[in-house]
């Protein structure tokens, strides 16, 4: 098993989940056994070109899409989220939304004054204060996250994030990406 096999398998799983297919549904659409698809997704087997053609057809995309990031792209520039269209009191924007095989998940959290946000902590997370001050409660302990301060949190219960300040609070939240 090499890194390219793992990357292609992860991308196949990503597109399968994105299209809402179960392994059995994808198997029915492609004629490839669900057990074979599972082994490929886990990076334990390399897909043949014929397999990738069938998968690409089922996903409605070009075969080369499976290889583009794995072979050619080592860096990706991502446009900022358009927060001007969103006037919710609390909003989370994915900064890594277009990265298929990324190893990290980065989000921007914007909190208007007097708002609260519940953040699940299923993997290690790093919270970084970009603007304003946010109050983060974890297991009853309260931390004041000011600009340029970091808070590292181990997996566990949800974090309650509040903005009790008169101005907006902006936080960067970084964690390991989940590839299901």
Cβ–Cβ < 8 Å for 62, 56: yes
CA dist 145 and 135 (Å) reads: 6
CA dist 2 and 4 (Å) reads: 6
pLDDT, residue 168, reads: 92
Could you list the pLDDT tens digit for every one of the 180 residues in the chain?
Answer: 555 556 788 889 888 988 899 999 999 999 999 999 999 998 888 899 999 999 999 999 888 877 765 555 566 666 666 655 556 677 887 777 666 666 788 889 999 999 998 988 888 999 999 999 999 999 999 999 999 999 999 998 889 999 999 999 999 999 887 655
90: which 2 tokens? Answer: 């609390």
**For the chain, what is the radius of gyration of the CA atoms?**
20
pLDDT, residue 145, reads: 96
Please tell me the pTM assigned to this model: 0.59
Quick one: residue 101, left, alpha or beta (phi over 0 = left, psi -120 to 50 = alpha)? alpha
Cβ–Cβ < 8 Å for 13, 23: no
């Amino acid at each position: 098993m090499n890194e390219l096999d793992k990357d292609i398998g992860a991308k196949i799983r990503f597109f399968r989940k994105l299209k809402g297919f179960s392994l059995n549904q994808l198997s029915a659409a492609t004629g490839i056994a669900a057990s074979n698809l599972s082994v490929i997704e886990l990076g334990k087997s390399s897909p043949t070109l014929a397999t990738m053609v069938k998968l690409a057809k089922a996903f409605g995309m070009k075969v080369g899409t499976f290889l583009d990031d794995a072979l050619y792209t080592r860096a990706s520039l991502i446009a900022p989220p358009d927060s001007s269209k969103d006037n919710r009191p609390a909003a989370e924007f994915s900064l890594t939304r277009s990265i298929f095989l990324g190893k990290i998940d980065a989000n921007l959290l914007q909190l208007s004054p007097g708002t609260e946000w519940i953040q699940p902590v299923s993997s290690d997370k790093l919270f970084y204060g970009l603007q304003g001050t946010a109050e983060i409660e974890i297991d009853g302990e309260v931390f004041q996250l000011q600009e340029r301060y970091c808070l590292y949190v181990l997996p566990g219960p949800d974090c309650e994030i509040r903005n009790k300040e008169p101005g907006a609070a902006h936080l960067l939240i970084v964690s390991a990406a989940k590839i299901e």
